Amino acid sequence: MPRPRKWRKVCSLPGSTRFGPLNTPIDHEHYVIMTVDEYETIRLIDLEGFTQEECSKQMNIARTTVQGIYNDARKKIAESLVKGKILRIEGGDYKLCDGIEKPCMGGFRRHRCRRGFLEDNHF
């Protein structure tokens, strides 16, 4: 029996779930599917500037797992750009965080996750 997959904590869902060229036919062979947890690693590492270790703590998974998810996500973005495929974000093994403030990165900083920030500021 395989080991059950661990849920990845995600604090921000994408505002749009489909990106890509406007002139691409809408059929399954012109799509690249990115999971929500892959999207979260891209958001945390490339946009928010987290290290892979910080990202792993935020998502509550191992750093090596983050590294694999991140590499898969970047390949999918590259395939979408280079081959002109539509990138769809959907699915994955994730749970949306509750947005409650907690210690981060060894307790030196305190922050609210993006979900808590967005809800507090009504974005």
pLDDT for 100 equals 63
Tens place of pLDDT for every residue, the chain, 123 residues? 787 777 899 998 999 999 988 887 777 778 999 999 999 999 999 999 999 999 999 999 999 999 999 999 999 999 999 999 999 999 988 999 876 645 444 433 334 455 444 444 433
The CATH number that applies at residue 23 is: 1.10.10
Assign 3-class secondary structure to 68-122: HHHHHHHHHHHHHHHHCCEEEECCCCEEECCCCCEEEHHHCEEECCHHHHHHHHC
> How many other C-beta atoms can be found within 10 angstroms of the C-beta atom of residue 105?
14
pTM for the predicted model, two decimal places: 0.77
Residue 82 lies inside a defined structural domain of this protein: yes
Strand (E) or helix (H) holding 40: helix 36-42
- Structural domain including 56 reads 8-98
Residue 119 lies inside a defined structural domain of this protein: no
Count of domains forming the chain: 1
Residue 111 lies inside a defined structural domain of this protein: no
pLDDT for 62 equals 94
Query: Cα-Cα-Cα-Cα dihedral of 94, 98, 101, 104, to 10°?
Result: -10
Residue 45 lies inside a defined structural domain of this protein: yes
Residue 115 lies inside a defined structural domain of this protein: no
pLDDT for 107 equals 38
Residue 105 lies inside a defined structural domain of this protein: no
Residue 20 lies inside a defined structural domain of this protein: yes
pLDDT for 109 equals 39
For residues 24 and 85, give the distance between their C-alpha atoms in angstroms, rounded to a whole number: 7
